[in-house]
Chains A and B, each alone.
Chain A
Amino acid sequence: MSDFAWTIQIIYVLAASCFVLGLHLMNTPATARRGNQVSTTGMVVAIAATLAIIVHADLITTTGWIVMFAGVLVGAVLGLYSARNVQMTAMPQLVSMFNAVGGGAAALVGIHDYMTAGAGVSATTSVTTLLDVIIGGVTFSGSIIAAGKLQGVITSAPVTFPGARVINLLVAAVGVGLGAYLITSPSTALLAVVIAAALVFGVSMVMPIGGADMPVVISLLNAFTGTAVAMAGFVIGNWAMIIAGALVGASGGILTKLMADAMNRSIRNIMLGGFGTGDTAVALAGGPGGDVKSISADDAAIQLAYASKVIIVPGYGLAAAQAQHEVAALAELLESRGVDVSYAIHPVAGRMPGHMNVLLAEANVPYPQLKEMDEINPEFARTDVALVIGANDVTNPAARRPGTAISGMPILNVDQAKSIIVIKRSMGHGYAGIDNELYVDPKTSMYFADAKKALTDLAAAVKTLVG
């Protein structure tokens, strides 16, 4: 190894250390921003080292330089524009698009390497190259479909037809089989077939998955992207890419597992798809057995205003109604009256891991008020009013009993509060399609309204009645 190559690899390892340190600093909101800065520094260093390689190798043509800078410029402008203008509710789509382009770029690295190396490629290199191309291709098309579903451009309902799974299996078999064949007999034409199979598989993998399962899918595709980048790192012998890819793979893997557990679904069950529902399923009517008590804005406002401790339980319905600013305004009003207010955040509240926290942080809610499930659950018993907004299954006490669709699912202990107010559009079912026993609890009052309107009315009522 030349001195130059040595130096570059050491710089890459230092850059990768910045990535690890950056992720480490994300263990508390107080240091997370510094973490992002450390990670950015590592990235700038790694890119500078890469430029040094290009200059040192002295093989690049003038056209090569122009093409490279033009590509970087176009990409950087697009990335910057979308990052600055995206709304926080649309964050899952953006993350999904970044997964797509990351996976796509990794696949292109593999494709180019395969085409230039030609017949001279060794068997081990072509194994990693083909893995890179296949995983990258699946991530690229799968993430675009996922983003489309999240954006509502593609139906969020599961799309499936008879024999879909057989076709999926066939496509996968063609991709993997041809890929294996290509290891020993290189052919650019056949590589194109493998790429096509990977792209088709990405589409057919995500299409049958319902909108409510998106937090799992987006995490899984994140893990895929990381793996694809690591494989690309193997192909060109770049340590920074191998380390970074492994870190992202680990992160995506952990989040996938956490999300699947929080939804009480196995990853296999979600990926086989077809069972999940779209976002509209909540509109289906269906009354649980037992009496449901409804409440007026004035009565609810009085309960809230004279409580000493209130826990707000926001769910997907709050995000769908884009009512995070209204809930924050109500909470602030209550706090100004001396009420202790906190938020109970279930791991799958929102459309991607941790999404609800970002929405509330954007609405100016201080993060110490955002409590994770395990932290807040013991507090419900000491709570005067639990205000549930657009959350359903994650509050259903039926999860504690065996034999229901959600048995074993971790839930928020909302039913232990002294009094419960549920803001909901109708008595419709949640994602699991079962009755919520919380709604017939004698301590529960239902407030039937759109979340945004309900919260505005509540805040107004608090002001007039006790202001």
Chain B
Amino acid sequence: MYPALLVDVAIFILSLWVGFEVISKVPATLHTPLMSAANSIHGIVLAGAMLIAVTAHNTVGYIIAFLAAAFAAANVVGGYVVTGRMLKMFKRRPLTASQVAANGSHPNGHHDTGPAA
């Protein structure tokens, strides 16, 4: 019938099962980073967004290519960065005062301080 589609459907279904199996083992403590990590993974849509540019040959095509690339890049970059930022906060032992101070002066000038009181 449609051999290519059949392969795609098989990959999709098997991946769903792998997903259920792997993700059901993630503890509730990490559910927010998990969702954020899943978010970064669907940033793979960037691959599709970039490929739009290959066949875009008119203004409408270029607009769609630009929007899709911007959306997907925001998704993938933001997703990985924020997941990493969250996971960095999960510590086995409380930080000492000097470590807290060191965290406050992040090399990139970024401050992981709490919400404004």
Contacts and interface: CB of A to CB of B under 8 A. Distances in A.
Contacts of A246: 11-13, 15-16, 18-19
Interface in B79-107: 79-95, 100
B79 A98 contact: yes
A109 interface: yes
Nearest to A64: B53
Interface in A349-379: 350, 352-355, 357-358, 361-368, 370, 372-373
Interface residues of A, number: 127
Nearest to B114: A325
A80 B50 contact: no
Contacts of B100: 364
B29 A357 contact: yes
Nearest to A111: B64
Interface stretch (A18-26, A290-298, A395-403): A18-26
B65 A71 contact: yes
Given A23-B22, A254-B23, A322-B115, A39 B40 contact: yes
A74 interface: yes
B29 A372 contact: yes
A354 B29 contact: yes
Interface string B23-59: 1111111111111111111111111111111111100
A366 B20 contact: no
A225 B42 contact: yes
A63 B62 contact: yes
Contacts of A80: 77-78, 81
A181 interface: no
Contact of B71 (A70, A105, A226): A105
A426 interface: no
Interface residues of B, number: 91
A366 B93 contact: yes
A59 B56 CA distance: 9
Given A70-B66, A364-B100, A109 B49 contact: yes
Interface string A47-90: 10111011001011101110110111111101110111011110
A20 B81 CA distance: 18
Contact of A91 (B32, B48, B117): B32
Given A240-B44, A357-B30, A79 B49 contact: no
A254 B24 contact: yes
B38 A251 contact: yes
Nearest to B78: A79
Contacts of B90: 29, 32, 361, 367
A106 interface: yes
A364 B91 contact: yes
B29 to A, nearest CB: 5
A218 to B, nearest CB: 8
Given A75-B74, A112-B61, A250-B16, A32 B30 contact: yes
Contact of B30 (A29, A102, A243): A29
A287 to B, nearest CB: 32
Given A78-B74, A83-B82, A233 B48 contact: yes
Contact of B85 (A15, A60, A83, A245): A83
Contact of B91 (A37, A108, A366): A366
Interface of B: 2, 4-5, 8, 11-13, 15-20, 22-57, 60-62, 64-95, 100, 110, 112, 114-117
20 contacts: A23-B38, A29-B87, A60-B53, A71-B67, A75-B72, A79-B79, A83-B85, A91-B82, A101-B75, A105-B72, A109-B51, A115-B60, A233-B8, A236-B51, A241-B48, A242-B11, A246-B16, A255-B34, A345-B29, A452-B117
Given A88-B89, A352-B32, A366-B94, 4 more contacts: A75-B77, A95-B35, A108-B49, A365-B94
* Interchain residue pairs A-B with the least CB separation, the first 5: A250-B19, A71-B69, A354-B31, A79-B78, A75-B73
